[in-house]
Structures are given as C-alpha cells and as structure tokens.
Amino acid sequence: MVSVVADEGPEISQADFLKNRFGLTPTQARVVIHLSAGHSLRSSAKTLGVKYETVRGYLKSVFQKTGTHRQAELVLTVFTAMSDDPKPPALPASPPRNDSLSG
C-alpha cells in the first residue's frame, strides 16, 4: 500500500481515505484502488489472490456504499471525492505504457 503526503499535511493512504469517505472495508478499498489505476476486475482478483466472483461481490457492495452503478462511474466518484478533499491522497499511478513495437 502506498502512503503519500498531501499538501504538507499528515500522511493518509488511499485505502484509509476510501474507508473514511465511503465506509469501505480494507479489501473493498484495495479493489477500488486497483480499478482506479486502470486495472481490470480479473487483474484485481489475481493481484488480491481471490476468485473473480469474489471481487465482483466486493464491487457490488462498493457500488451500494458509493451510490454508483458502473465501474467508470465509481472511478469518477472516487477521483471527484479526492479532488474535493482538502488533503487527499495522491491518485493511483498508472503503469507505464510501452508504445514501441518490438520485432
């Protein structure tokens, strides 16, 4: 888990922000962080070491807690919440893209 310093304030992890803001469990927060970083639900399941159906169940609970209905809407809601907060955590870094063609 990554902790960041925002606006020279106290450190807050993305997971803690999501738990405090939306009432998510630690596991639900990790799923949201993965999705916000651009990872798929299947990739999130593999990373978390659980089955795809388990992650879908977490996501359904997250939708209820955040008042969202789709992954894109969830990510937008999270980004908006972070931008509205005076001391938000840093947004997840996207993995670098390799746009060069090999071979």
What is the tens place of the pLDDT at every residue in 12-65? 788 999 999 999 999 999 999 999 999 999 999 999 999 999 999 999 999 999
Encoded tokens for 38? 């651009």
Tell me if 61 is assigned to some domain: yes
Q: What band does 83 get if pLDDT is binned at 50, 70 and 90? A: confident
pTM of the model: 0.71
Query: Does residue 66 sit within a domain?
Result: yes
Q: What is the extent of the structural domain holding 72? A: 15-84
* CATH number of the domain encompassing residue 58: 1.10.10.10
Judge whether 100 lies within some domain. Answer: no
Looking only at Cα atoms, what is the longest distance across the chain?
Answer: 48
Q: Is residue 98 in some structural domain?
A: no
What tokens were used for 40?
């798929």
Number of domains composing the chain = 1
Report yes or no on 99 lying in a domain.
no
Residue 1 lies in a domain: no
**92 near 36, Cβ under 8 Å?**
yes
Q: Are 74 and 32 in contact (CB under 8 A)?
A: yes
HSE-up (13 A, CA, CB side) for residue 49: 0
**pLDDT top residue among 83 and 76:** 76
Residue 77 falls inside a structural domain: yes
